[in-house]
Amino acid sequence: MKEKNPWHTPVTIIITVIGVIAIVALVTVAVLQNRPLAQKYKYGIVLDAGSSHTALYIYEWPAEKDNNTGRVEQTHSCKVKGPGISSYASAPSRAGESLRDCMQEAKLRVPGKRHLETPLYLGATAGMRLLNIENSSASDVVFHAVEEALQKSPFSFQGARILSGQEEGAFGWVTVNYLDDRLKQGLETTGALDLGGASTQISFVSDNFDGSESPENAVAFRLYGNDYNLYTHSFLCYGKDQALRMVLAQQTQSGPGTILDPCFHPGYNETKNYSVLYDSPCVSDRKPQGAPATFTHLGKGNFSQCLDVVKSIFNFTYCRYSQCSFNGVFQPLLQGPFGAFSAYYFVMNFLNLTDTSIPLDTVRKKLTSYCSTPWDQIKQQHPDVKVKYLAEYCFSGTYILTLLTEGYNFTSESYPNIKFIKKIKGSDAGWTLGYMLNLTNMIPAEAPDSPPLPHAGYVSIVTVIAILLFVLFILSLRPLWPRCSKQPQII
């Protein structure tokens, strides 16, 4: 007679089937319950109301990971047509209207069902700081007009305000280091150099700076469990447009009818208005008395003379601290890598000078040759570049070099630590992202707890444990197993 296999008894078959079903059910529940959900995003909008123009930035991050770092990205940017809002002091309603097209774009880019919960911020920088100094009621009226326009948007408008220079510098630093993932990982940070139209900022962490020597330059942060003592300073009037005004003011002190400017190309010839040139608190107190209405601005194209006149807008003679950058402003020893953005990038990129391994002497030689190139030839070579920018690159390049080396004390050794950048991982370098991260509390002071296991690890462990339990269960039923059918034979 054929012997019956003990595993083929009804009891063991039922146990096995139930066991397999239980394992499959357990693993399925584990997988489904912990499956990464289809991504839903949240949005935030920041309007950067700069001195030269306004730009709108849309940021997006996974909805369920608000404060879990490194995930906020810029999805869209829109450049507002026309000048910065501070230029609308005499026609404020147009400041509000100017934002319409970009706000319309934002409505299309942010999913409709998220509109109501999407925060919208407007931050103004040095253009409005200057207007506020010059005529505070005019700046109030401009703010009122833009607020009125933004309140009509479907987004959750959180207000319009002027950022302090300190905030502008510090948030630029946060942006750069957040995008580089340096904060979360507690890595050495990157300094931030921002050159705007009306002000310029320098921000970095230096070991020999604790804020005690110059508290007004100190910003303390605790981010992801790390403490940072940031040094930051904003130089009002040292953005490239206001610096150019100061350089022109330097050359028109006596109210001449013509100036021969070494920072403009030979053959450059424009008639400019004295009252327009001096219409800024950066130069208004120097307006020459009895000057004619206009002056003829002629180019001479001489880099070394341009350096001299640019240097003359900096004061290097007094310093009541252990060390200074310029104008008596404290600055600790430069430390670490630096990211230089906005006009630093626009200008150095145009001049093919973003490679900082090029020795400073070569940079000077290139500028010497560029500045001396006739204006006609420059225009011919760059028919697509805005003439205003084109006319000013010689000045701007000279100014940047002077600001970095004479102003901030970068040397041949430390100059290669600077990287001229526009974007980091698809997001623009600038203060806006840092500003939004701060206002939405998206960077926690302490390091967030991360799940102990990744999803795949979790599923594998649940599966293995389930199988082990099943085997253990089967083994525990051993006493019930049918006896071996092979009986000892009795002879």
Ligand X SMILES: O=P(O)(O)OP(=O)(O)OP(=O)(O)OC[C@H]1O[C@@H](n2cnc3c(O)ncnc32)[C@H](O)[C@@H]1O
Q: Which residues bind ligand X (CB under 6 A)?
A: 50-53, 84, 125-127, 196-199, 239-241, 342-343, 346-347, 350, 389
- DSSP codes of every residue in 361-380: HHHHHHHHHHHTS-HHHHHH
d(CA 340, CA 192): 6
Q: What amino acid occupies position 382?
A: H
158 is in an annotated binding site: no
213 is catalytic: no
- Quote the distance between the C-alpha of residue 260 and its chain's center: 38
Q: Rank residues 175 and 335 by Cβ distance to ligand X and give the closer one.
A: 175
Residue 199 or 335: the one with the smaller Cβ distance to ligand X is 199
For the bound state, the minimum distance from the C-beta of residue 236 to ligand X, rounded and expressed in Å, comes to: 9
- How would you classify the pairing of strands 226-236 and 423-424? unpaired
92 binds Ca ion (CB under 5 A): no
Which does residue 239 touch among Ca ion, ligand X, none (CB within 5 to 8 A, set by kind)?
A: ligand X
- Residue 252 binds what, of Ca ion, ligand X, none (CB under 5 to 8 Å, by partner type)? none
- Alpha carbon distance 85, 140 (integer Å): 12
Pairing label, strands 73-79, 54-62: antiparallel
Q: What are phi and psi of 188, to 5 degrees?
A: -60, 135
Binding of Ca ion by 266 (CB under 5 A)? no
Asked if residue 434 binds Ca ion (CB under 5 A), the reply is no
Minimal distance in Å, beta carbon 367 to ligand X? 15
Q: Would you say 104 is a known binding-site residue? A: no
Helices 136-151, 100-109: axis angle to 10 degrees equals 40
334 secondary structure, DSSP code: -
- In the bound state with Ca ion, the residue whose beta carbon lies nearer, of 53 and 245, is 53
Q: Which residue in the list 168, 188, 216, 392 is annotated as catalytic? A: 168
State yes or no: residue 332 binds Ca ion (CB under 5 A).
no
Q: In angstroms, what is the minimal distance from the CB of 458 to ligand X?
A: 47
User: Residue 239 or residue 266: which is nearer to ligand X going by CB?
Assistant: 239
Q: Which stretch binds Ca ion (CB under 5 A): 16-24, 87-95, 196-204, 378-386?
A: 196-204
Q: How far is the CB of 67 from ligand X (least distance, A)?
A: 28
* Residues 211/356, Cβ–Cβ less than 8 Å: no
- How far apart, in whole angstroms, are the C-alpha atoms of residue 95 and residue 82? 9
Residue 235 buriedness (CB in 10 A; 0-12 / 13-18 / 19+): buried
127 binds Ca ion (CB under 5 A): no
Please tell me whether residue 96 binds Ca ion under the rule CB under 5 A.
no
> For ligand X, which is the closer residue by CB, 149 or 198?
198
**Which residue lies nearer to ligand X by CB, 199 or 414?**
199
For Ca ion, the closer CB: 86 or 214: 86
Torsion over CA: 397, 402, 404, 405 (sign): positive
The b-or-e profile of 375-411 (16+ CB within 10 A means b, else e) is beebbeeeeeeeeeebbbbbbbbbbbbbbbbbbbebe
Site for Ca ion in 20-59 (CB under 5 A): 50
- Any contact of residue 70 with Ca ion (CB under 5 A)? no
- Tell me the C-alpha distance between 434 and 446, whole Å: 17
- Residue at 416: amino acid letter: P
For 453, other C-beta atoms within 10 Å of its C-beta total: 12
Applying CB under 5 A, the span of 188-196, 254-262, 444-452, 460-468 interacting with Ca ion comes to 188-196
| 159 carries a ligand binding annotation | no
Q: Which stretch binds Ca ion (CB under 5 A): 191-199, 214-222, 300-308, 333-341?
A: 191-199
Among 44, 196, 262, 266, binds Ca ion (CB under 5 A): 196
Which region among 39-47, 84-92, 195-203, 471-479 touches Ca ion (by CB under 5 A)? 195-203
| 200 marked among binding-site residues | yes
Q: Is 198 annotated as a binding residue?
A: yes
Instruction: Supply φ then ψ for residue 221, to 5 degrees.
Output: -125, 145
Strands 156-162 and 226-236: unpaired
Question: Would you name the residues annotated as active-site residues?
Answer: 168
Contacting residues toward Ca ion, per CB under 5 A: 50, 196
Q: Which amino acids are annotated as binding site for ATP, given as ranges? A: 197-201
Known binding positions: 197-201
